[in-house]
Amino acid sequence: MKKSIIIIALLFVGSIAAQSKYQKGMQKAFSLWETGKMLEASQLFERISKAEPTKWKPAYYAATVEILGSFGLKDETKLTAKLNKAQAFLDVAKSNSENNPEIIITQALLNLGYIAFDGQKYGMTLSGKNNQLYAKALAIAPENPRVILGYAEWNMGTAKFFGKSTKPYCDQIKKAIELGKKEKNDIEFYPKFMLSRAEEVLKRCEG
């Protein structure tokens, strides 16, 4: 009996140590990201994802870092390599969290990476897919501020492309901001609503 208690205690201590290692790794990856070390952050998120194959967040953040790093690239080969890598990470995240609105809108952001690079080449095939992705995410989480903001920003970009006013989407951005201010989420490392960025999007909408 005493031996079994010791074994259970050791297993418990081991699980705490493993969790602590995961937490420290994620915190370090976020720190790298915040200081602009995108490559190092992506690589660390990738290593954590491989070490924690049942968790969706490390792969999700690895994908997000790669996607954000694709905007502004001028070389299509580099862009494709970066977004293919991001897609592989997103596929891992999807396999661990089906119908997750955070992952769904990040897929739309990945598609936008291609459209932003060459709207003529990728816009026709991916714009419709993005509308479907945002509609799906909204159906799952109609009060999610990141989903609402993402969809409003996507619609703003489409309106600008066709020379139309972005004003119709300002109210949606305001709604996202209000929901974002009220949002309370205690889930560790869950995506946060970036209020300052949302306010910048609102200024662009109203301007």
Tell me, what's the pLDDT at 173? 97
Single-letter residue type at 74: K
Q: Give 62-108 pLDDT, tens digit per residue.
A: 999 999 999 999 999 999 999 999 999 999 999 999 999 999 999 99
- pTM for this prediction: 0.88
User: Any idea how long the chain is?
Assistant: 207
DSSP summary character for residue 193: P
DSSP summary character for residue 167: G
CA dihedral (61, 63, 65, 67) positive or negative: negative
- What stretches in the chain show pLDDT beneath 70? 1-19
Would you kindly state where each structural domain of the chain is located, as residue ranges? Answer: 15-142, 143-207
Tell me, what's the pLDDT at 19? 64
Superfamily of domain covering 15-142: Tetratricopeptide repeat domain (1.25.40.10)
